[in-house]
Structure 1
Amino acid sequence: MSFPRERVEGTRRSLSGLSIRDEDKHKSSSSSSRDAALSRPKYDMRNETRPIDRQGYNNSGKGIDVIMNTYPIKEFPTKSVHQYEMIVEHGSSRVSADEDRRVFRRCFECETRKVNFPDAIYDGAKTIWSGIRKESVISEKFEYKGGKTRGAGMGKIDLFGKQVTFRMKYRRKVNLDVIGKWLQKEHKLDDSVIEALNFLDHLIRDWPTKQFFSHKRAYFFQSLEETPSHKNIAHEFHYSLGAYSGATCYRGIFQMIRPCVNGLQLNLDTAHAVFFSRISLLGTMKGLTKAGADDELARMLRPKIDKQNVRHSTSAFLQLSKNLQGLRVQPDYNGCPFKDKSFIIDKLLDASASEYKLMITDKSTGKEKSQSVADYFLRKYNKALEHPHMPLVKMTKEGVIYPAELLVIKNLQRWPFKLTDLQTGDMIKYTAKKPSERLEHIRKCKTILNHDEDPSLAHYGLKIGQRMVMAKARLLPNPEIQFGNVKHNPGTSARWDLRGKKFYKTNTKSLNSWGVGYFTGHRNDINSDQVQQWLDLFTKAYKQHGGKVTNRPFICKMREDVGEAMKDLFTKTKEAWGVEPQLLVIIVPSKDAFVYLRIKKSADCRFGVPSQVLQSLRCIDNRPQYSSNVLMKVNAKLGGVTNRIIPTSTGSTLRPRSIIIGADVTHPALGVWTPSLAAMCISNDVNGVSYMGGCQCNGAKVEIISKENIKGILGPLVQEWCQTVGQKTQPKQIYYFRDGVSDSEISGVLNIEVPAIRKVVAQACKENEWQGKLCVVIANKRHHLRAFPNPKDKGSDRNGNPLPGTLIDREVTSPHGWDFLLYAHAALQGTARPVHYKVVLDEIGHKPEELENMIYEQSYQYVRSTTPVSIHPAIYYSHLITARARHHENVNSSDGPQSGGRMPHERSLEQPDVVQTKLLSMRGSANNLPLSMWWV
């Protein structure tokens, strides 16, 4: 069987049903606009498009009950609260919360605020709410004693030792009564509702933020061992990622208020994050350098001395010093006078405790004498250092240095580095818990949070129920799978294999001119005989699946330089057959991403030929199942499809002359200033199985796809559809599946992307205006809703996850609009996550069971898998297109990958003046690569 790669679940921000601003989204503003912008969403509510009404509920399939990880909010405050702005100034300059939030936290904790507003709720930036109204300005002046630390604001400003003025200015009255009216559809969604929900969002965070380590809406518990009632479960909440790696994964809890059909609910879910292990600093240093022992670490950090007796720091020393900068540590040894005091690391000193000299004043004589740090600790504290030759650690506090072996990491501090493969494996093992274990963890965390004893909730009158919400769900009927020679009913297992099955559609042209190249001279490489053996099985399997193969390929060894090797393979294959190759297969000895990048960039942009990269070990193993899995991809690249579905009803069938469009925009990691990429694909047959697509740069972290990109990507694809699939007619219906947009960006999709699509289709059809109908569906996997089936309903698989086809459209869905949760796939491990679909435009006029069942059934048509996928294939293909199009960036291949999943050690906080605006185009050839499924 072949399974699609599903994204690993993280603890990213969730936006469901409503856009509520996170604390890290506050922006400084001018005085003229500050009042209007204060604690409001970043978009203009007046331009927000009204959600379409729900067209009833889906009644197809079988009714089942599921437990949702939400708790009903029994009561919430309805009295008004008052909002204040916290203004911090240094001299005549106003300090922004983005520059140093610790200054604002220090101001919030001052006595003036505590006396005047003891019930204050703080958003972590510059907004404060209170039930007390005071029109007069409250102010205080003090000397700030903070300093730079790892995290927000580092490198932007340093107010240490400077005079700071703090003022609280009244801004507005926030009416909380509008929440109930909005839920009952007696009040429209406007700024007043957003402000009221924003207050509740921070009210629910207030007490946990003071008790636990918080990151946005997630909380991690670092002191459970010290609590008698939780001491016996403390070990369940953290897991070391490898022996002595210096990194530990903590399991915490995420909580957020969600507006739902039946009122407000509190969404609780597992959260995970990686922190520095709370061990000795020396242990952390070994983990960061991958040193196996203390002596090895000392050798790695020992400076090199050249022939002129000049000391030179090693690269390991410089990198470690940079990685430790900003880390907070505490001294810990017998007799330490500062055991409760912490310091922030500035850097490592290129001198050891036995070398570095201190000037110590003799109290009896008053004279100064030189003494090494090692001797100082021995004489003053009777502490003999075990590693006197290890570099010393310098702190940001003037004149403070310590030996690394005397320092420990006590508080939770985020791990900012990319995990190694071993650490990633350990983290997946720890985080991928079965549904029953996840459910139990949520309940334990509910006990730890102890909402009933939360003083902030009690003061304002917010009460949370003790039992999770039970929701009514439907188990939709699964479709049958149609192959070229047989039909197959996978049932609720949602799995099948390809034994004895022919592809529904095979390659459009017989495979005549193709080439195979393989690298040698490496570990795990493949030899000529093994290539021939693999090729025998590969071609035999393709023919058994219905593929048309006329000739055996041209075969050659490939040289070390990948670019030159691809040129040789292409040229020699072309010479061997007298025409350009239809397919190039490259067998590589490792999973080197850089090699893959260069192969794909050459094949796509230099030669315009479909390519398939294979692992040598898998080819040597030469299992039939592997060949079949690869052939699904090869067949799709050559114009075929694996299977199609037989819809369960006429209502869920794709209507005649319909186009399915999928779109996604991906952004680079923080500090990587490559452009955002916008990908779009459209269906290329009447069944919505085959697709063609393209990609282009979309500016610097811009989510809404520009009109120019929609025209440039969609224009040629729609023209091709009209000439081939549409048989020179225009489409009557378009289904637009859009991924990755938050609620605040839906208006951009409807007001910018949808009109641009209409215009492109009209131009492709040579009409002034396209007269067809559109259906726009937003898909989102970045949420924290999970369902746990009732065992009595037999609605779960062997792991306890909901069966594929589980649809949830009641109890936990939005009080306004048409949305639903859909489990379309069978999770291989851990707890399955549903996709949250939101229908924001439906000119076609679907019944719920027509559109929702169609989306579910089409998930069985993903061309490179023998299981359904979790999200609609059009969106999945858009993800694949952006991943592959990263290889088309207009940079030298020798520069390596410019973006991806890496997390840089050193982040550039300033955006460069020039951001790449165009990708390299794919070369035109007889293969017509841009109009094929080149990305699968």
Structure 2
Amino acid sequence: MGKLSLASSSTEFLPRRPNFGTQGTKTVLWANYFKLNVKALDIYKYSLNVIYGGAATAGSAKQEEEDPKGKKVEKGGKGEAKEAKGKKLGSIIELAMKQFPATPTYASEFKAQVITLGKLKFSNPDGTVEVKYTEAGRSRAETWTVKFNGPESVHVDRLLDYFGTMHDLAGDATFPKFPTEVDAIGIVLGHTPRTDKDAVTIGRGRHFALDEARSEAAPMNSFTVSILRGYFQSVRPATGRLLLNVHVTHAVFRQPIRLDELLGRWGDLKKFYSKTFTNLQPHTKQLENMCDKLHKFLKKSRVRHTVPATRTRPAVTIETPIAGLAHIKDACDKKGGPTETSPKFRFQFPYSGPENVKFFLRRPDSEPATATGLGNLRYDTWVTVNDYWIQKYGVRPNLDLPLVNVGTVNRPMYIPAEQCSVLPGQLVKSKLTPGEQEDMIRFACRFPADNAQSIVTKGRALLALDGNKLLAKFGITVDKELLTVTARELPPPLLNYLRRKSTAISRPEIKDGGWLLRNEQVSQSGRPIAAWSYIHIQAAQHDNAEEVKRAVYSFVEFMESSMGVRIAKQGSPGKICSSKDALPAVFKSLPANTQFVIVVLPDKQSATYNLVKQLGDVTYGIMTVCVQRDMVTKQQGQQGYFANVALKVNLKFGGINQRLTNENELIKGGKTMVVGYDVTHPTNLAAGGGGNAPSMVGLVSSIDSDLAQWPALAWANPPKQEMAESLESKFQSRLELWRSQQKNKGQLPENIIIFRDGVSEGQFNKVLEVELPRLRKACMNLYKASAQPRIALIVSVKRHQTRFFPTDPAHATHRSKSPKEGTVVDRGVTSVRYWDFFLQAHVSLQGTARPAHYTVLLDEIFRPRYGDRAADALEKLTHDMCYLYGRATKAVSICPPAYYADLVCTRARAHQSELYDDASTVKSGGLEQVKARHVHQKLENTMYYI
């Protein structure tokens, strides 16, 4: 081991590719890429600041506008920051570009940048453009100032020169290369679909058609959401050329629907709701729960509503986000109490309708001081919303539906629900129901050939890649044919189990990336399970408890006799649990020496599963495994289900399920530790959840050469933060754990291979500059300065948009028609300069297989050890490890250290699921609840998470 400087980590750069891989059977695949042809024109980039107010008074000017009730409302003003977002921001930028004498040739993402062909000519020397913007339904225009910062030259010529040589400029250690140029070309390519009035763009590169002629939607039973198929595009540099990555993508959108129709279909809401609430009392809690869910679903939705005509003004249609349903806490003080101006609800029920909510009717400033009222209503008195709409607009609201707040929580504005319609094209970011998830999977799973055909037809049309005048002006054309790449198919490794009831080695036959356990049992049983029990959560009173008991004991018998798991045949008496809410008491009643509990779940409800894991992993320190009642009791296929669950149990108690027959040369000496770590951020949350939920970190590491046991650590970071200083101490604890193992004889590993999961290319420098020094510091705390370990740091990414399609049916899987398992691609869509590769280790059961993408950020192991064979050595090790994922009898899509780290993060979220399901449980800026949710000390350094 050589001496390495900690300070050097900040200047280390991505290692050069040692060579291309050579192992495996060669084949040719299509990739979902088109070649881009770009001319070196004079292109410039301007960054934008959009400021409320005129150029001289931006940020301090006060302006007035009139709301639909005729009241003038003061917006902005000194000390108040007003920000334009979404479509409004885009409209302001578009108006700014039209202020130039001759509208320039430009492209924009309509947020922060404008790419122009040639320099802009400004009337104002400070590069500002003043825009008058009028929102729909407002009578007065707002003044906004758009500040153009720049220009910054977009050096397309240098980019093209780089592709000709693939040599870095002297002293240039940036990655990715030419980000400004690549980003600018991407903005130009995305401009046309982004400005398509019948399409919607999500993020930087996901485009969806909304019109009936072009949209592709999934058939669903849901009346609240719809699933659309769209197309993703991204500009990607490769060896000697620039490519456009295009792939099908799917997203869930709010279903455009009238709110009165939605309310009438929302859980039978309408049958419980009436203007007098005479039939409300028996159903108050049920109704409140329905309204709560509906309120969270509608919150921040954009709706279209019409303010009816009056004698002095025509009808106005307004598109605006809403605050949800009218709520009794609207316009209350910070303590939740009503103020003098808070709306008055007739009943102490959170939601109410037009006849049961009053607001204080003031005389509008537009009326003379002598005006006394509105029809039969007197000014400066409390009036109901129902009476106001009758007198003001001659409209009688539907009294059987709750009101909708089209204002804000602090400044509510209530209108009848039947006046509103949910607008199309609104992305749903909340967690889907199980039924919606199944609909999404069915719709998204398509044969590779179908996706390829969609890309070259509907995808190209939506993205406007052909006959696009804007692209032509910027000197960009897109080849029509998908790219072909050379690939290789790696053979599967040989695996070792034990033959049942013997000590002989058994090797199952691997076919199509998987194998069956017929006469095999685990390679090594874990710690004996002497004290166990089971909990049967009943779906209904008639649920057959004896049938479940028989199934549980059959499972235990199978684990002991067929799988070789050391578990006592007799457990303590099982517990019957009537509901999820009774689980804490049931766990508390278990014998104190209980090591293991089998929990029989009635369904797939995640809330029940999360509570089981909170109680077992955190509160009591008891290993748990959850099984579904229907799966554990049915006869057909039961043995396969039992075997898969038994594999989990053995891992939880320290066992080894399978080993490699031909151990990897780098691993078998017992001097190499493999590590995986990941950070997951609070996304895809339940409606209303995760307001300030933390990011969760998962860290796993091998403890010996078997690569079977991966004990874990999990901890919380502040929201959206990748890695905190605690990485040093956590990683050091993994080194100490390695040293404590009897097999390792008190020695620390000489080699450390780290798989960092889930970071983008733009974050590579942060991994090297922030995370790597902390890993090295942990090593320096334990190793001698002259004997630091060699480190290889590899980023593994599964969430990317690269896909491969077979050109030869002989090199496709039978079921999904995707490339065969073991397929490696390290050229064609990669860079010769950097060391990365795509590996599809698994067989896709349905849909188009997604390969994992691996990029080497640091290599002190493979190239020094293997020279020109380093690529083959890393690819083989990564591929072989995909067959060592302990809870499955098949190769998995990403190597186990990264896979396990992701599972640890998922389990950590389950341990504090309320933080992600309900924003009200998270204190602003604090992680008090998270700090209390450590895994119980009995389960530390185990695979409790599997």
The answer as to 2:565 corresponding to 1:547 is yes
Give a deviation string over 1:80-102, Cα, whole Å, max 9, x none. Answer: 42535445242342898965352
Q: Which residue of 2 aligns with 1:743?
A: 761
Instruction: Determine which of 159, 163, 172 is the counterpart of 2:143.
Output: 163
Cα–Cα, structure 1 residues 800 and 339, in superposed 2: closer, same or farther, change >3 Å? Answer: farther
**What are the within-5 Å matches in structure 2 for residues 535-934 of structure 1?**
535-558=553-576, 561-571=582-592, 574=593, 581-621=594-634, 623-647=638-662, 654=668, 656-669=670-683, 671-706=690-725, 708-712=726-730, 714-715=732-733, 718-761=736-779, 763-764=781-782, 767-768=784-785, 770-844=787-861, 845=863, 846=866, 847-888=870-911, 897-900=913-916, 902=917, 911-913=924-926, 918-925=931-938, 929-934=939-944
Q: Following superposition of structure 1 onto structure 2, how do residues 64-79 of structure 1 map, counting pairs within 5 Å?
A: 64-79=27-42
Contact 1:673 1:915 survives alignment (8 Å): no
CA distance in 1, matches of 2:928, 2:934: 18
The one-letter code of the counterpart of 1:413 is: Q
Contact persistence 2:59–2:81 (CA under 8 A): no
Aligned to 1:13: none
SS at match of 1:429: helix
Residue matched to 1:268: 246
> How big is each residue's C-alpha offset from its partner over 1:531-572, in whole Å with a ceiling of 9 and x where there is no partner?
14531452244222223345522223256632332232132x
Q: Contact 2:109/2:204 (CA < 8 Å) preserved in 1?
A: no
Cα deviation, 1:293-340, whole Å, max 9, x if unaligned, reads xxx5264365626999xx999664576466445522266999x98698
The separation in 1 between residues aligned to 2:441 and 2:48, in whole angstroms, is 43
Please state whether the residue corresponding to 1:840 is helix, strand or coil.
Answer: strand
Task: Choose which of 196, 201, 208 in structure 1 pairs with 2:193.
Answer: 208
Matched, 1:176 2:156: yes
Cα distance in 1, alignment partners of residues 274 and 249 from structure 2: 36
- How far does the alpha carbon of each residue in 1:328-385 deviate from its partner, in whole angstroms, 9 at most, with x for none? 2266999x986987566566675469999999xxxxxxx9866999999999999999
Report 1:244-643 matches (<5 A).
Answer: 245-286=223-264, 289-291=266-268, 297=270, 299-300=272-273, 302=275, 304=277, 316=290, 320=294, 323-324=297-298, 326-329=301-304, 342=319, 350-351=352-353, 389-390=400-401, 404-405=417-418, 408-409=421-422, 411-443=424-456, 444-485=458-499, 486-488=505-507, 490-507=509-526, 509-519=527-537, 522-523=540-541, 525-528=543-546, 530-558=548-576, 561-571=582-592, 574=593, 581-621=594-634, 623-643=638-658
How far, CA to CA, are the matches of 2:612 and 2:298 in structure 1? 37
Structure 1 residue 400: Cα displacement: 10
5 Å-filtered alignment, 1:88-127, equals: 88-90=51-53, 91-93=57-59, 99-101=84-86, 102-103=88-89, 105-110=91-96, 113-127=99-113
CA distance in 2, matches of 1:48, 1:259: 23
Deviation at 1:208, TM superposition (A): 1.4
Displacement of 1:802 = 1.2
For 2:402 and 2:910, the matched residues in 1 are separated by 42
Amino acid at match of 2:16: D
Report the CA distance between 1:114 and its aligned residue: 4.2
The Cα of 1:126 is off from its aligned counterpart by 3.3
Structure 1 partner of 2:369: none
2:24 to 53, 56, 61: 61
CA distance in 2, matches of 1:794, 1:728: 48
The residue number in structure 2 matching 1:137 is: 126
- Once the two structures are TM-superposed, the CA of residue 276 in structure 1 deviates from its matched residue by 2.2
Compute the displacement of 1:879 (Å): 1.4
Aligned residue number for residue 344 of structure 2? none
Secondary structure of residue in 2 paired with 1:195: helix
| Equivalent position amino acid for 1:531 in 2 | K
Alpha-carbon distance, 1:178 to partner = 1.9
Query: What is the Cα deviation at residue 171 of structure 1?
Result: 4.0
Instruction: Name the CA distance, whole Å, in 2 between partners of 1:389 and 1:917.
Output: 43
Cα 1:48–1:129 shift into 2, 3 Å:
farther
Q: Give distance in 2, aligned partners of 1:239 and 1:536.
A: 42
Match of 1:867, SS state, is: coil
1:239 counterpart (212, 215, 218): 218
C-alpha separation in 1, matches of 2:615 and 2:388: 63
Alignment check: 8 A CA contact 1:680 1:695 kept: yes
Shift in Å at residue 899 of structure 1? 3.7
Q: Distance in 1 between matches of 2:391 and 2:52?
A: 47
Letter in 1 for 2:230: G
Residue number in structure 2 paired with 1:28: none
CA contact (8 A) 2:127 2:148 kept: yes
What's the offset of the Cα at 1:515? 3.1
How far does residue 763 in structure 1 lie from its aligned partner after superposition?
4.1
Q: Offset at 1:248?
A: 1.2
Matched, 1:217 2:204: yes
Give the aligned length: 834
Contact 2:692 2:919 in 1 (8 A): no
SS in 1 for 2:940: helix
**1:192-221 deviations in Å (ceiling 9; x for gaps):** 922222211211111111113111234544
Q: Which moved more, 1:456-465 or 1:406-415?
A: 406-415
Judged with a 3 Å threshold, the aligned counterparts in structure 2 of structure 1 residues 55 and 525 are, in CA distance, closer, same or farther, namely farther
Tell me, in whole angstroms, the C-alpha distance in 2 between the residues paired with 1:604 and 1:376.
57
Q: Which residue of 1 aligns with 2:347?
A: none
Deviations 1:693-744 (A, max 9, x none): 21222333221253x3332354255344454231222212111111012223
559-568 vs 494-503, which deviates more? Answer: 559-568
Alpha-carbon distance in 2 for matches of 1:426, 1:770: 55
Contact 1:67 1:471 in 2 (8 A): yes
Deviation at 1:437, TM superposition (A): 1.8
Q: Closer, same or farther in 2 for the Cα pair 1:788/1:393, shift >3 Å? A: same
- Once residues 591 and 921 of structure 2 are traced to their aligned partners in structure 1, the CA distance between those partners, rounded to angstroms, is 39
Q: Hey, what's the Cα distance between the residues in 1 that align with 2:294 and 2:930?
A: 36
User: Given the superposition, is the C-alpha separation of residues 713 and 741 from structure 1 closer, same or farther in structure 2, using an over 3 Å criterion?
Assistant: same
SS in 1 for 2:185: helix
After superposition, what is the alpha-carbon deviation per residue over 1:636-681, rounded to whole angstroms, capped at 9, x for unaligned? 122212212234x966765541111111112223743232222211
- Matches of 2:402 and 2:639, distance apart in 1: 56
- What are the Cα deviations for residues 403-441 of structure 1, in whole angstroms up to 9, with x where unaligned? 655654554223354332222222221122221221222
- For the aligned residue pairs, the C-alpha RMSD in angstroms reads 4.3
Decide which moves more: 593-602 or 435-444.
Answer: 593-602
Structure 1 match to 2:135: 146
Name the SS of the counterpart of 1:442 in structure 2.
helix
- Per the alignment, residue 349 of structure 2 pairs with none
Contact 1:558 1:569 (C-alpha < 8 Å) held by counterparts:
no
What runs of 5+ residues in structure 2 fail to find an aligned partner?
1-8, 61-79, 327-351, 364-372, 378-383, 500-504
SS in 1 for 2:156: coil
Distance in 2 of aligned mates of 1:391 and 1:690: 56
Letter of the structure 1 residue corresponding to residue 162 of structure 2:
W
Please state how far the C-alpha of 1:223 moved relative to its aligned partner. 5.3
